[in-house]
Amino acid sequence: MSETKAHGMASEIRALKDSEDFDLAGYDGAQVANMLNAGFSSPIQLPAGHMVRVTFVIGGGKKVRQKYPETLAKDIAAALTALGYEDDRGASCCLECQGSFKYQHDTDKDLKFMHVFPRVEHMAEEQKEDDMGGDLPGESARELLAAELFAFRDMVNMNAPSWIQKRSLLRVMKGVASRFEEFDRKLVAMQTLDPAEQELYDRGVEISDKTEWLEQSLEKMIKDGQLTKGEQLWLVADLQDKVKAMEGMIATQKEKGKKTDKLEAQLDAVKTKMEAVAGQTPLPPARGGVDAKEVQDLKNKMKALCKIEAKKGLLSPDDTRELQKKPQIEARLAKLEAGDSKGWFNSKVLEVEALGKPKPKPAAAKPKPAASA
């Protein structure tokens, strides 16, 4: 299959407005890598609030398997990983899952698929609350981008206290970081950003530092055993997928006669982490309803801020920094007092916490009536 056809498929992907399936019969590893690089190296333009799924047919049963290289799944995973995409078995076609992919073997159709959830860029800059599935309102997203790191940390800890909430936000921030890298490449090449890109670029502050802090926070929560049962099960399953993918990559590298020492060390680290997480005692699931303690803590913070505002003369830099937190605290307190305890990515929280709930026991079979004599 020619490179022209591979790039033609990439062009189709770039032009997508709805989810679509593509058949990779006849593609080899190099052609797949070129196609994926051309199709997914930068965000796909979509209408505001939209998300798409790109599904590749990569194999199947005896009738079709000869059309696909045996290493196709590994080749796709390696190419997407190199582009910063993550293997996520729980990914779905929603905005918070952009920048991920997952493998599926559909036994009913006897076909194998690789589903890709691309990074997207909305053509309309203004977002409604539902643009992030109702979980991360557009106003909050803009505040997160513009906030300095200390204010960003406070906003996150207030609105995304759980591990899975921070994990979901990290995926969003990685998508933003990818866009900023693209902007930097354009500027280095003396290309002009369009008005929407320039506005976003000017607004963003300390993007890489924010992403790094989120990664460190997630690792600390894992180390300190701050995961619920659902989060624990979700993470173990995710790490199991990474182990399988890395074992496949190591096998492929060995077949090519290449060194695998670095990959094997990374594999050992992932296995150690997986065992540590699986052996932890999980936290109880997130409580429903409004947390009275959080309400009281926020009220105490507001009292302290009011005292700072009442001070005469010039405020110190520390006091000024503390006062910058007031709008976020007021907004969170207002939501809680109105009976709304939901933070960001609440739908993801509910999905993950459902994993930790015990499955209902099957109803006992009714005894058969005794046969009459």
Q: How do residues 225-271 score in pLDDT, each as one tens digit? A: 999 999 999 999 888 888 888 888 888 788 888 888 998 999 999 99
Residue 133 confidence class, pLDDT cut points 50, 70, 90? very low
Q: What pLDDT is recorded for position 3? A: 55
Q: What pLDDT is recorded for position 335? A: 63
The span from the CA of 257 to the CA of 266, in Å, is 19
The span from the CA of 330 to the CA of 56, in Å, is 47
Q: What pLDDT is recorded for position 140? A: 72
Contact status, residue 27 vs residue 6, Cβ threshold 8 Å: yes
Give the tokens for residue 316.
Answer: 């110190």
* Residue scoring higher pLDDT (175 or 234): 234
The span from the CA of 91 to the CA of 371, in Å, is 53
- Give yes or no for residue 40 having a pLDDT over 70: yes
- Give yes or no for residue 1 having a pLDDT over 70: no
Judged by phi (left if over 0) then psi (alpha if -120 to 50, else beta), residue 137 lies in: beta
CA 161 to chain centre: 16
Which CA distances in Å does 290 have to 241, 256, 299, 330, 340? Answer: 36, 57, 14, 16, 7
Q: DSSP secondary-structure letter at 228?
A: B
Give the tokens for residue 191.
Answer: 């290309």
Give the tokens for residue 371.
Answer: 């046969």
CA 354 to chain centre: 18
Instruction: Kindly state the average pLDDT of the residues 55-64.
Output: 88
Q: What pLDDT is recorded for position 193? A: 87
Catalogue the E-assigned strands of the chain: 20-23, 44-46, 54-60, 86-87, 100-106, 111-117, 120-122
- Give yes or no for residue 128 having a pLDDT over 60: no
The span from the CA of 35 to the CA of 6, in Å, is 5
- Give yes or no for residue 83 having a pLDDT over 80: yes
Q: What pLDDT is recorded for position 175? A: 82
Q: Tens digit of pLDDT for each residue in 262-312?
A: 989 999 999 999 999 999 998 877 554 445 566 677 777 888 888 888 887
Instruction: Kindly state the average pLDDT of the residues 36-62.
Output: 87
Q: Count Cβ neighbours within 10 Å for each residue of 313-351 and write b for 16 or more, e otherwise.
A: eeeeeeeeebeebeebbebbbeebeeeebebbbbebbee
Contact status, residue 156 vs residue 327, Cβ threshold 8 Å: no
- Give yes or no for residue 77 having a pLDDT over 90: yes
Quick one: CA torsion of 348, 99, 208, 230, rounded to 10 degrees?
30
pTM here?
Answer: 0.59
Q: What pLDDT is recorded for position 218? A: 96
* Residue scoring higher pLDDT (314 or 168): 168
Give me the chain's average pLDDT, please.
81
Residue 228: φ, ψ to 5°: -80, 175
Using N-to-C axis directions, what is the helix angle for 149-159 and 326-337, rounded to 10°? Answer: 10
- Give yes or no for residue 14 having a pLDDT over 90: no
Instruction: Kindly state the average pLDDT of the residues 195-210.
Output: 87
In a 10 Å sphere around its CB, with 0-12 CB exposed, 13-18 middle and 19+ buried, how is residue 63 labelled? exposed
Q: What pLDDT is recorded for position 46? A: 82
Listed ranges 166-180, 208-222, 308-322, 342-356; the one with the highest mean pLDDT: 208-222
